[in-house]
């Protein structure tokens, strides 16, 4: 057990710690992961403060989970999951923080999280990310830990060297490149308030719906009701779920998990 875990246990903070590599749960019915009252079922981990949160990066008020973005890290489920439909309703708050104070508002959902909480960067565990960022919500990123996860997708390559999901194109496996959602603007810039020509984001302050269908080794990204990305042959198919703090204030009012059904597969078939 890591030293800081030992210290937390000695201080009587065992409830703040997750179980070591919990056995993945396959949901049998729809359930709320966020109860609207407190952080039951979750634990937090931050770059500098680890399992403590003196800056109150993660708070619950008036039925909303607020992630301030002030310190990099995340709030993670204590349980691990496999074969599920995840739904999250969220909106951007107004605040941004260094080092991204003038950059595109940024967050994300990490699925199939495994390994130490610090991963390779010091604050996110090994996982596959459904990116939430102005102009790029629904992109896939591989978040390294002791190993590099990978994902395959049918993609087109733009002159900028980046790859974008496009059904019917060659299948490419990557453990390094971002797999952009199909409509991400090739002229995307990392600037606050960026808007692309095909972006599906609602204006700041309005509610968005992000959905992820994890079905075996496939991951389907849905944003505001539309399939925006589709990955197969994932190297990881189960693990914890984390919601990132990455420099921008984000408010969440609903996080639900449900079993994968034929109706869902049909609804979100790319």
* pLDDT tens digits, one per residue of 192-250: 999 999 999 999 999 999 999 999 999 999 999 999 999 999 999 999 999 999 999 99
What is the predicted pLDDT for the residue at 18? Answer: 60
What is the arithmetic mean of pLDDT over 18-47? 93
Question: Are 237 and 214 within 8 A, CB to CB?
Answer: yes
Which neighbouring-strand residues pair with 127?
A: 143
DSSP secondary structure letter of residue 20: S
Question: Are 213 and 128 within 8 A, CB to CB?
Answer: no
Question: Are 50 and 122 within 8 A, CB to CB?
Answer: no
pTM of the model: 0.92
DSSP secondary structure letter of residue 64: E
Domains of the chain in start order, with CATH, are: 20-267 (2.60.120.560)
What is the predicted pLDDT for the residue at 198? Answer: 96
Backbone dihedral angles phi then psi of residue 107, each to the nearest 5 degrees: -160, -160
Is the pLDDT at 14 greater than 50? The verdict is: no
Q: How much of the chain exceeds pLDDT 70, in percent?
A: 93
pLDDT 10s digits, 62-102 = 999 999 999 999 999 999 999 999 999 999 998 999 999 99
């Amino acid at each position: 057990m890591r030293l800081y875990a030992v210290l937390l246990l000695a201080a009587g903070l065992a409830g703040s710690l997750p179980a070591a590599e919990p056995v993945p749960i396959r949901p049998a019915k729809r359930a709320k992961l966020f109860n609207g009252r407190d952080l039951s079922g979750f634990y937090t981990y931050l770059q500098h403060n680890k399992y403590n949160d003196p800056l109150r990066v993660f708070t619950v008020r008036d039925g909303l989970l607020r992630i301030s973005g002030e310190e990099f890290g995340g709030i993670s489920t204590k349980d691990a999951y496999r074969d599920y439909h995840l739904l999250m309703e969220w909106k951007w708050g107004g605040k941004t923080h260094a080092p991204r104070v003038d950059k595109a508002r940024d967050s994300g959902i990490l699925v199939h999280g495994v390994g130490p909480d610090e991963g390779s960067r010091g604050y996110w565990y090994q996982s596959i990310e459904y990116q939430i960022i102005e102009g790029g919500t629904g992109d896939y990123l591989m978040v390294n830990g002791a190993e590099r996860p990978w994902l395959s997708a049918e993609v087109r390559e733009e002159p900028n060297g980046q790859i974008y999901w496009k059904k019917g194109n060659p299948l490419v496996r990557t453990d390094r490149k971002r797999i952009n959602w199909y409509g991400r603007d090739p002229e995307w810039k990392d600037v606050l308030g960026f808007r692309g020509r095909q972006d599906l984001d609602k204006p700041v302050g309005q509610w968005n719906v992000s959905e992820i269908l994890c079905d075996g080794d496939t991951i389907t990204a849905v944003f505001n009701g539309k399939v925006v990305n589709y990955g197969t042959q994932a190297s990881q198919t189960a693990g914890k779920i984390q919601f990132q703090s990455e420099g921008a204030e984000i408010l969440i009012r609903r996080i639900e998990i449900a079993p994968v059904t034929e109706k869902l597969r049909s609804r979100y078939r790319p």
